[in-house]
Amino acid sequence: MKNQLLEVEKERFFLNDECKYLIRGIIPEKYTVEAFLDGEKLPVSMERQIAKSAVERFKDGEMLGGQRVEAVVDLPQDISGYQWLKVYAVFEKERLEWFHIKTEELLKKRGKPQFYIEEERVNQKDHSLILRGWAAGSSHVQIRLFDEKKQPLSVAVQRNARMDVEGMFQECVIDREPGFYVEAENLTGRFLYLVMRQDNGKKSVYRIGLGRKEVLLGKAEKYRRKALNYMRANGMKALFVKAARKLAERTNRPVDYAEWLPKHLPTEGELQKQRKKEFPYAPKISIVVPLYKTKEEYLKQLVDSVKAQTYTNWELCLSDGSGKNSPIADLLEKITKEDCRIKVIRHEESLKIAENTNAAISIAEGDFIAFADHDDVLCAHALYECVQALNEHPETEVLYSDEDKMSIKGNKFFMPHFKPDFNLDLLCTVNYICHLFVVKKELLGKVGLLRPEFDGAQDYDFIFRCVEATDHIYHIPKILYHWRSHEDSTAENPESKMYAFDAGQRAIEAHFQRIGVKAEVYKGEYLGLYRTRYIRDYDPLISIIIPNKDHIDDLERCISSIEQKSTYANYEYIIVENNSTEEKTFAYYKELEKRNPKVRVVYWDGVFNYSEINNFGISYAKGEYLLLLNNDTEIINADWMEELLGYCMRPDVGIVGARLYYEDDTVQHAGVVLGFGGIAGHCFVQQPRGNTGYCHRIICAQNYSAVTAACMMVKKEAFDKVGGLSPDLAVAFNDIDFCLKVRDAGYLVVYNPYVELYHYESKSRGLEDTPEKRERFAKEIATLESHWPEIFAKPDPYYNPNLTLKSQDFSLKRL
């Protein structure tokens, strides 16, 4: 049994120390680690690791009784005279072999860059290659592609930031952009070589087979090496167990977007039907595009995608801001002769993007204006979907769609952005609307043209002005736009246009100024993300409502963390005692009230009903703002109350929630989506702290349908308006129901990721683990649905119907 608790998950050299070898994996509980080089004992340091998620900790029942550890072995500088490194798990007189490796294998790896290939696609038909992965070294790692004659290929290697990779190498700072993406075409020969070279000249080489035989042999060799390495480290039995597990996991692997997209685009037959469709309302759509020395290949692809539209009442308005001697003048002349719906305005002087786009708008005669970039592509059904939406929702003045990224050559599609319906606070965090964006020309006339002072984020500023002027905003949850990703594009290389992010910050500031909200805007954790801090005119009283039954250690930890860390001073506590049985609990209440004048304990004498208990406690509250808080929480950041209050004091906001972690630093709550788990559930559960989630949404302030009441601030005015929490939901879903009531009253619900707490969940009342509790749980599901039948009949507006409801990670819905 103990041998089954031995597994090596990772083994590697330190990047900055060739004498330190790291081994991470599982050994039996209470065991320590010893290492030997041909019988010579080596120094070893061992540290127990906290599992990053419950799934990791309990992924296999056989791991119960084991511990995940990280051991660092100190090797001598010269190991050439040795044969084997062997590492053992040791307890008292028992020694179990955990890991072994030949020194010749260590020497091959020592000092070289470490890398991982995540995607390798060879297409024998068009002789193309896509390669994606990461590389890390003790210094900058240069990545180049060579042919089988060892000659360098002229292929762009796109680099990107990877927080997950940075987190793997804690011993030193690695490249800011360790990720790489390579796309090559018209390849010849049988092999290519990916060479990753550090500044000191040491390199790692990865061979890629191009021919069918070489590809198959390469895959076979890759799997053989992985299996052999795993068997050497863990033994034959462990290899068989892992193989069986991998086979089972294949059926549950994440959906591949490259496979998903073709199945969700219209078929040729469907496109033909669209071409024949006659809409009752058939507005002309003007697609406006600013051009500046555009590559002919890109411009042709854009124009072809417009001409391929199944909805034909369009015009393409091109403004060539390239100036005199425009390199695309001849192509533009040819394009306009081929289709009378294509119009061009030329300029003697070079134009920047806002005035160039405005020039295109000046020749537009359509009822709606659609915006596109000069190097991107529209899906064939893009305008059809827009017009269909306008017929179904004739009041619409603004439309936007989902989008993805497109490779340089325009033949590969990846990184889809499946967006929520209109989400004001997400828009104030990131320009999530972006493409495709369509606006009614009458509305454009009211809000004005694009403003040159916001060049780089002129679209962001324009979107803000549009959504301020109308509530009739419609989101089409379909991929209608392909955003080309290349080295100069902000789609793949944000730093290529740093000025754009400064302009984006000013666009948000201008939005707040126009609507009369005092706020300061800062750049967020990533380029393109922003953070808002609201400025208060005064510090209102906050009433913190904490229900409690015994568990005085939890309550003390909760209150102590508030008292010791909080920088906000104007608050009171209402502790709602409910059904405690221990005498020390009541003694603690008296002592607490005596030492802290902010504390008041009130006594609920009915049966447990979370809604009624909170409503009872709130009846004693004096604050303008109520802070519902579980007793099994502990605050992390000192300005948590200011962050909650900043959003909650906005007139349009009723409720603000927080980012909560389990004790093991994994996410417990980052917003709530209706439909998760069949009814409603928390977002990004068990994601490691530091992960940012799908499209960085863990770290984005945004609107959700609901947030948990484990930490929830609500306006007293909003609480009174909806009549508090619903007593017919005694234990579960009362916070979901309450959020829906507040939303129904016209307020927004905001998730603020900058309010962080630990939540030691379920310590207060246990789990749904008896027939009686399960029956009550089922009844409360039915009660919640009966309160909101229309809401639960539709997809959650703050989610996207293309994403799965079977997990909380915002992954694609299975085909």
The pLDDT score that the predictor gives to residue 672 is 96
Checking if the pLDDT of 3 tops 60, the result is no
| Span 522-537, pLDDT tens digits | 999 888 999 999 999 9
pLDDT at 243 over 70: no
Q: What is the pLDDT of residue 246?
A: 56
Share of the chain above pLDDT 90, in %: 71
pLDDT tier at 491 (50, 70, 90 boundaries)?
very low
Rounded CA separation 690/179 (Å): 18
Average pLDDT (723-746) is: 95
User: What residues are paired with 400 via a beta bridge?
Assistant: 437, 475
Least confident range from 26-35, 363-372, 507-516: namely: 26-35
| Closest to 10 (Cα-Cα) out of 229, 202, 175 | 229
How many C-beta atoms lie closer than 10 Å to residue 112's C-beta? 19
Rounded to whole angstroms, how far apart are CA atoms 145 and 122?
14
pLDDT at position 424: 98
With cut-offs at 50, 70 and 90, classify the pLDDT of residue 408: confident
**Residue 432 DSSP SS3:** coil
pLDDT at 487 (0 to 100): 47
The average pLDDT across 371-392 equals 97
What pLDDT, on a 0 to 100 scale, did the predictor assign at position 214?
Answer: 52
What per-residue confidence (pLDDT) applies to 56? 39
Please choose, from the candidates 375, 377, 396, the residue with its C-alpha nearest in 3D space to the C-alpha of residue 387. 396
> What pLDDT, on a 0 to 100 scale, did the predictor assign at position 7?
83
Q: What is the pLDDT of residues 608-653, one digit of tens each?
A: 999 999 999 999 999 999 999 999 999 999 999 999 999 999 999 9
How many other β-carbons are positioned within 10 Å of the β-carbon of residue 224?
Answer: 10
Q: Which residue has the higher pLDDT, 703 or 222?
A: 703
Select from 188, 73, 91, 194 the least CA-distant residue to 133: 194
- State if pTM tops 0.85: no
Confidence of residue 125 (pLDDT cuts 50, 70, 90): confident
Using the predicted structure, report yes or no on whether residue 244 has a pLDDT greater than 70: no
Tell me the three state secondary structure of residue 248: helix
Residue 492 in this model has a pLDDT that exceeds 60:
no
pLDDT for 49 beyond 80: no
Question: For residue 61, what pLDDT is reported?
Answer: 37
Task: Point out which residues pair with 13 in neighbouring strands.
Answer: 21
SS3 content of the chain, % helix, strand, coil (to 5): 30, 30, 40
Can you tell me the distance from the alpha carbon of 477 to that of 701, in angstroms, rounded to the nearest whole number? Answer: 21
Predicted confidence (pLDDT) at residue 468 exceeds the cutoff of 50? yes
- Per-residue pLDDT tens for 297-320? 999 999 999 999 999 999 999 999
Retrieve residue 305's tokens: 């995608």
DSSP-derived 3-state class of residue 312: coil
pLDDT at residue number 51 = 46
Mean pLDDT confidence for 709-720: 97
Give dist(CA 276, CA 61) in Å, integer. Answer: 59
pLDDT in tens, 143-171: 999 998 889 998 888 888 777 788 788 88
Cis upstream peptide for 436 (omega within 30°): yes
- Rounded CA separation 395/398 (Å): 9
- Please say if the pLDDT value at position 222 is more than 60: no
Q: Torsion angle, CA of 291/296/298/304, rounded to 10 degrees?
A: 100
Q: What is the mean pLDDT of the chain?
A: 89
Query: Does residue 227 register a pLDDT over 70?
Result: no
For residue 700, pLDDT over 70 is answered with yes
Question: What pLDDT was estimated at residue 176?
Answer: 82
Q: 26, 82 in Cβ contact below 8 A?
A: no
**In this structure, are residues 707 and 672 in contact, taking their beta carbons and an 8 Å threshold?**
yes
Band of pLDDT at residue 764, cut at 50, 70 and 90 = very low
Q: What pLDDT shows up at residue 85?
A: 95
Dihedral in degrees, nearest 10, Cα atoms 259, 263, 266, 268: 90
* % of the chain residues with pLDDT over 70: 89
Residue 62 has pLDDT above 80, yes or no: no
